[in-house]
Amino acid sequence: QKEVEQDPGPLSVPEGAIVSLNCTYSNSAFQYFMWYRQYSRKGPELLMYTYSSGNKEDGRFTAQVDKSSKYISLFIRDSQPSDSATYLCAMSGGLNTGFQKLVFGTGTRLLVSP
């Protein structure tokens, strides 16, 4: 079993839809959770960063972490064609014991049609 599981998609939605992207994980030591967005032929860029459980909102994007269920989500409201990209979840343990390697999901490809 992979440490981080993510549905590869593609997920196709019409413009304006609410999108839900998800990852599950098995390592209870993970405390830092990230979402990266990767456009075609580009490197990933950080979209959202959260620590421990709870929600974080940034514009149309909301990141949600449920540590009890080992489940994280990224919600995109009012989705736009420019949101079409691959979304990668990533996570790591604490920072106070030296470098903590990031573990990535395989990415979900999102397609938003006009």
Touching other proteins, residues 82-111 (CB under 8 A): 88, 90, 92, 95-96, 98-102, 104-107
> Is residue 14 a contact point for other proteins (CB under 8 A)?
no
Token digits of residue 110? 């999102």
> Is residue 75 a contact point for other proteins (CB under 8 A)?
no
Token digits of residue 69? 């269920």
Pick the closest to residue 65 from 76, 55, 77 (CA basis): 55
Question: How far, CA to CA in Å, does 73 sit from each of 50, 81, 94, 114?
Answer: 11, 20, 20, 24
What does the alpha-carbon distance between residue 30 and residue 91 come to, in Å, rounded to a whole number? 6
- Of the residues 19, 21, 23, 34, which one makes contact with other proteins according to CB under 8 A: 34
> Is residue 41 a contact point for other proteins (CB under 8 A)?
yes
Point out which residues bind other proteins (CB under 8 A).
6, 8, 32, 34, 36, 41-46, 49, 88, 90, 92, 95-96, 98-102, 104-107
